[in-house]
Amino acid sequence: MDLRRELANWLAAGVRAALPDVPAPVFAVDRPKQAAHGDYATNVALALAKPARRNPRELAQAILAALPPSPLVERAEIAGAGFVNVFVTPAARQAVVRDVLAQRDAYGRGDALAGQRVMVEFVSANPTGPLHVGHGRQAALGDAIARLAEWQGAQVAREFYYNDAGQQIQNLAISVRARAKELLGESGEFPEDGYRGDYIVDIARAFLARHGHDLADIEAIRRFAVDELRKEQDRDLAAFGVRFDNYYLESSLYADGRVDATVRRLVESGRTYEHDGALWLRTTDYGDDKDRVMRKSDGGYTYFVPDVAYHVTKWERGFAKVINIQGADHHSTVMRVRAGLQAIGAGIPAGYPDYIIHKMVTVMRGGEEVKISKRAGSYVTLRDLIDEVGRDAVRFFLAMRRADTEFVFDIDLARSQSEENPVYYVQYAHARVASVLRQAGLAKESAIAAVRGSDLAPLTSPYEEALLRRIADFGVEIAAAAQGHAPHQVAFYLRELAGEFHSYYNAERFLVDDARVRGARLALALATGQVLANGLAVLGISAPDQM
């Protein structure tokens, strides 16, 4: 039963009865901030005031008088300027336990995106070095956003775009060749903006072992280095529990002629012009502060041109909804890519694709910033963090803050076993549910079977009512997080749910002599554990039975 939807239908019936000639408004049914103000509150009378040309409190009174009886509602009251506070019956509040135990892993899923194909592009790291912490934040956010869309019924494709073309890749090849020459006892000129981590030496050594000492073919070195780094990145992502459905190579856009074709279409659109030997796109027609160069005077394309070509392929592949998770250094790309997609005239809507731009992560240990890793040479790698604190802690920490805020990753906190460590706090709540079952001598499946028909009427303490309300909100929280591409809302919800359960665990005994109370409390504990596990699954995090 969707209690919130049932109450909305009940209130709508009251509106139709009280005001048959006024179109039903859009109104909210939300949790009030204080439990004393009811289980739910609605602004329906305030929403009706203008079209009905009546005082909101008078309208609220008329609606209350016209409401049909409901077995779900204990009472309703008018508050403030015309809000209606609804108090549901204990039985209606307790029914969520049966819903959770019946739906299990499916509890909290919705259908807002049913039938839609959604692409989430994330990480998309240049194959020039190991993944750094920023890539890790993208991985945690992107995978969670993809999971949220799947929880709303979407068919989701996770895509990784490899920038395997351009000067950075050339610098990689030259760096590897220089290190290979050093390994052979020769002098090799190292590029000023080359890559200097220990991993370059490892790649150079592997190339010599595979291909011998002939270093004349720089293209062979490039291909080998890119392949080696792609394999390492894949291993790190596997260790992080992140998978991709497709890998798209930037180089293929050139090889397949897509970049040239995109430029031709833009020229044909009439939105380009020549100036100072360069080809420009009139991005000011789409809100940019100035027009942008597409093709430089030397004939090379600027970096946003292949991005436009790439996003045309996303549209042509049938992805009407695309979400890109990228670092703050891509902020300027957003306007240019969208302008190019609009100018090309392919029917792509304004605002395509959606962008989630995340800010930096600072890593701290012992109160001091950690800046480098021996292997990478100049930054902290994702693998460093996984090895330090474990996959679950890294994923939770990197997803628990809004993407557009800077974040300090405290290694000491992530390793601590205390209530200040949010992932430990949430996982410990799930482990406590499992410990209750062990004390009762019950396996999870047998426990669920044992309590499925239990009388839930004893669940009336403040601790129990708080848990019941929080559990009932899970589906709404997941839907809101999916709509806002906001995994941090799930992390926040889980911390609050865990807090409610820890308070309950510390205040009450579960395995009491009274069989009726015992059954009800075990059922509530099982439902809490299930919702904790479901929420952690959305973030790609395990729900341990022991800690």
Q: What is the pLDDT of residues 465-488, one digit of tens each?
A: 999 999 999 999 999 999 999 999
> Domain total for the chain?
2
User: Does residue 520 form part of some domain?
Assistant: yes
Q: In this predicted model, what pLDDT tens digit does every residue of 46-83 receive, in sequence order?
A: 999 999 999 999 999 999 999 999 999 999 999 999 99
User: Does residue 299 form part of some domain?
Assistant: no
User: Does residue 356 form part of some domain?
Assistant: no
Range of the domain at 46: 3-88
How far is residue 281 CA from its own chain's centroid? 33
3-state secondary structure of 294: strand
Token match 């993944």: residue? 131
What are the angstrom distances between the C-alpha of 278 and each of 238, 290, 302? 43, 15, 11
The domain boundary, picked from 37, 65, 88, lies at 88
Task: Give the CB-side neighbour count of residue 493, counting CA atoms within 13 A.
Answer: 28
Q: Which residues contact 45 (CB under 8 A, 6 or more apart)?
A: 56, 57, 59, 60, 63, 78, 82, 83, 84
Q: In this predicted model, what pLDDT tens digit does every residue of 484-520 receive, in sequence order?
A: 999 999 999 999 999 999 999 999 999 999 999 999 9
The domain boundary, picked from 26, 54, 88, lies at 88
Q: Which residues contact 28 (CB under 8 A, 6 or more apart)?
A: 42, 43
User: Which CATH number does the domain housing residue 25 bear?
Assistant: 3.30.1360.70
pLDDT of residue 491: 98
Rounded distance, CA 415 to CA 37, Å?
Answer: 40
CB-based contact 127:233 (threshold 8 Å): yes
Q: In this predicted model, what pLDDT tens digit does every residue of 88-119 receive, in sequence order?
A: 999 999 999 999 999 999 999 999 999 999 99
Rounded distance, CA 22 to CA 51, Å?
Answer: 7
The domain boundary, picked from 88, 122, 155, lies at 88
Rounded distance, CA 19 to CA 66, Å?
Answer: 9
Confidence of residue 1 (pLDDT cuts 50, 70, 90): confident
User: Which CATH number does the domain housing residue 434 bear?
Assistant: 1.10.730.10
User: Does residue 19 form part of some domain?
Assistant: yes
Q: Can you read off the two tokens belonging to residue 141? A: 């956010």
Q: Which residues contact 356 (CB under 8 A, 6 or more apart)?
A: 141, 145, 323, 324, 325, 326, 403, 485
What are the angstrom distances between the C-alpha of 543 and each of 241, 255, 529, 540? 14, 46, 9, 10
User: Does residue 443 form part of some domain?
Assistant: yes
Beta-bridge partner residues of 410: 364
Q: In this predicted model, what pLDDT tens digit does every residue of 211-265 receive, in sequence order?
A: 999 999 999 999 999 999 999 999 999 999 999 999 999 999 999 999 999 999 9
Q: Can you read off the two tokens belonging to residue 415? A: 């390793």
The average confidence (pLDDT) of the chain is 95
Beta-bridge partner residues of 247: 160
**295 DSSP 8-state letter:** E
Q: Per DSSP, which regions of 103-194 are E strands? A: 117-121, 155-162
Asked if residue 442 has pLDDT above 70, the reply is yes
User: Does residue 73 form part of some domain?
Assistant: yes
Burial of 72 (0-12, 13-18, 19+ CB in 10 A): middle
pLDDT, average across residues 146-152: 98
Task: Give the CB-side neighbour count of residue 132, counting CA atoms within 13 A.
Answer: 22
CB-based contact 468:524 (threshold 8 Å): yes
Asked if residue 374 has pLDDT above 70, the reply is no
CB-based contact 534:107 (threshold 8 Å): yes
Task: Give the CB-side neighbour count of residue 482, counting CA atoms within 13 A.
Answer: 26
Q: In this predicted model, what pLDDT tens digit does every residue of 320-353 receive, in sequence order?
A: 999 999 999 888 899 999 999 999 988 999 999 9
User: Does residue 486 form part of some domain?
Assistant: yes
Q: Can you read off the two tokens belonging to residue 412? A: 């000491």
Q: In this predicted model, what pLDDT tens digit does every residue of 217-226 receive, in sequence order?
A: 999 999 999 9
User: Does residue 397 form part of some domain?
Assistant: no
What are the angstrom distances between the C-alpha of 25 and each of 8, 12, 19, 85, 86? 11, 9, 11, 18, 19
Asked if residue 188 has pLDDT above 80, the reply is no
Asked if residue 308 has pLDDT above 80, the reply is yes
Token match 């309590």: residue? 451
pLDDT of residue 131: 95
- The amino acid that residue 280 corresponds to is W
Residue among 526, 420, 418, 490 at smallest CA distance from 102: 526
pLDDT, average across residues 522-530: 98
